[in-house]
Amino acid sequence: MKKTTIHDIARELNITFSTVAKALNDHPRIAAATKEAVREMAIKLNYQQNKLASSLRSGRTGIVGVLVPTLDVSFFSSVVHGIETVMNENGYNILLYQSKEIYEDEIRGVDTFLQTRVEGIISSVALSTKNYDHFIDLKKRKIPLLMFDRTVDEIGVPYVRIDDYGGGFMATEHLIKQGCKRIVHISTDQQVEIFKERLRGYKEALLKYGLPIDESLIFYGNLSIELGKNCIKKLVDEKVDFDGVFAFEDYTGLGALKELKDLKINVPEQVKVIAFANEAFGAHITPSMSTVDQQTVKMGEEAARLFLKLIKENKYYENAPEQIILDPILIQRESSQ
C-alpha cells in the first residue's frame, strides 16, 4: 500500500521519471502525447504529488502561517475566513496557530512556522505580548510578515487595520447630528491602541462641534455587558444629565441598551445609543443597535491581497512598510435615530 511516485508512473510507461515530472508540471518541451499518457497513468495509479519533496527541492511550500489570538472570537475567525479565501484562490494554503493571548505560545507559533518553511506569516499580536523580538527576527530572516488589527509600530511591517480614530469620530458625530449634546463614552484599558484611538475620535468630534469634553461622562472598564449596564446605572443614580451613549464595542453597548430599557428610559427618544464592531446580534435586537462596522472579512481579504502583492514584487522589506487603513462604516439603526 505504498504511495505511488513518479517512478511508478515512469516504470509503467517505460520512460524516465524525469520525463514524468516534466509532463506533470506541463513543461513546454514534452510531447503532448506523452503528457496525455502520463496524466492518464497518474489518475489510474491514484498518484498525488508529494509536496514535501517538491517543496524541499524547490524551496517553495505554498504555505502561509496565520497566527491569531483565538478563533473563538468572531472578529478573528471572520478575518481568518477572509485570509483563507483569498490565499486559497491564489494557490496558497494556511497553517493555523492560536496564541491564546499568551506571549510564549506566540513565540512557539513563529518557530513552528519557521520550521515548516512557510512563505510568510499573517498575524495579530497577543494582548500579553510586550516584547516583539520574535516578530522583528522574522524581518531579519527576510520572512514576510504582515500584521492586522492589533498592529505594533515598533515592528515596522506592512499592516491592515481600520481607522479607529475615524470610527470614533464618525460615531460621535452621528450622535451630535442627531441632536445629542451630552454624550457618554464607555471605554476600556487605554493600553490597546485601537481603543485609545476611538476615544480620541470621540473627543475630536466634540471639539469640532463646540461641545465640552466632560471627563465625568467618560467611563473605563472591562469589556462586558455588565460594564454598559453599570455605567448607565451610575449615571442615572447620580442624576447626571446625558442624551447619548457611544460604547467602545457592541457588548458594552448592548448592556447600556438593556439597562436603559429596564429603567424605562426611551431609546432613541430620550437617549441615543451607538456602539462599535457590528456583531451579529445588533441588527436583531429591539431597538436595533447602531454601530460601526469593522469590515472583518474584508480586512482578511485585504491583508491577504497586500501580502500577495508584496511577495510578488520580491522585495518585501525593501520599501517603507505599506499599510491599508480600511474605512469604518457607520451603521445607523433604530437606537440612534
Partner DNA sequence: CTGAAAGCGCTAACAG
Partner DNA sequence: CTGTTAGCGCTTTCAG
At its nearest, how many Å lie between DNA and the CB of residue 48?
7
Q: Binding residue for DNA (CB under 7 A) from 3, 130, 234, 309?
A: 3
d(CA 292, CA 326): 12
Residues between 46 and 65 that touch DNA (CB under 7 A) = 47, 49-50, 53-54, 56-58
220 near 190, Cβ under 8 Å? yes
Residue 25 interacts with which of DNA, its own copies, none, CB < 5 to 8 Å by class: DNA
Residues between 219 and 258 that touch its own copies (CB under 8 A) = 254, 258
One-letter amino acid of 42: A
d(CA 200, CA 36): 64
By CB under 7 A, residue 24 contacts DNA: yes
CB neighbourhood size of 318 (10 A): 8
- Helices and strands (H, E) in the chain, number of each type: 12, 12
At its nearest, how many Å lie between DNA and the CB of residue 138?
18
By CB under 7 A, residue 116 contacts DNA: no
Q: What are phi and psi of 67, to 5 degrees?
A: -120, 110
d(CA 115, CA 108): 11
How far is residue 17 from each of residues 39, 73, 223, measured CA to CA in Å? 13, 49, 61
Residue 18 interacts with which of DNA, its own copies, none, CB < 5 to 8 Å by class: DNA
Distance separating the N- and C-terminal Cα atoms of the chain: 68
By CB under 8 A, residue 63 contacts its own copies: yes
Q: Binding residue for DNA (CB under 7 A) from 1, 2, 239, 318?
A: 2
CB neighbourhood size of 93 (10 A): 13
By CB under 7 A, residue 93 contacts DNA: no
Q: DSSP characters for 160-191?
A: EEE-HHHHHHHHHHHHHHTT-SSEEEEEE-TT
Residue 88 interacts with which of DNA, its own copies, none, CB < 5 to 8 Å by class: its own copies
User: What mask of x and - would describe binding to its own copies in positions 69 to 108, judged by CB under 8 A?
Assistant: -xxx-x--xx-xx--xx--x----xxxxxx-x--------
User: What mask of x and - would describe binding to its own copies in positions 25 to 54, judged by CB under 8 A?
Assistant: ---------------------x-xxxxxx-
By CB under 8 A, residue 5 contacts its own copies: no
At its nearest, how many Å lie between DNA and the CB of residue 91?
13
One-letter amino acid of 261: K
Q: Is it true that the peptide bond before 69 is cis, omega within 30 degrees of 0?
A: no
Residues between 124 and 183 that touch its own copies (CB under 8 A) = 137, 141-142
By CB under 8 A, residue 23 contacts its own copies: no
Which triple of cell numbers denotes residue 309? 502583492
The label of the residue with cell 469634553 reads: 213
d(CA 242, CA 225): 20
d(CA 138, CA 159): 15
**Stretch of 120-128, 266-274, 279-287, 313-321 contacting its own copies, by CB under 8 A:** 279-287
Give residues in contact with its own copies (CB under 8 A): 1, 46, 48-53, 55-56, 61, 63, 66, 70-72, 74, 77-78, 80-81, 84-85, 88, 93-98, 100, 111-112, 114-117, 137, 141-142, 254, 258, 279-281, 283-286, 297
Binding site for DNA (CB under 7 A): 2-3, 5-7, 15-19, 21-22, 24-25, 27, 29-34, 47, 49-50, 53-54, 56-58
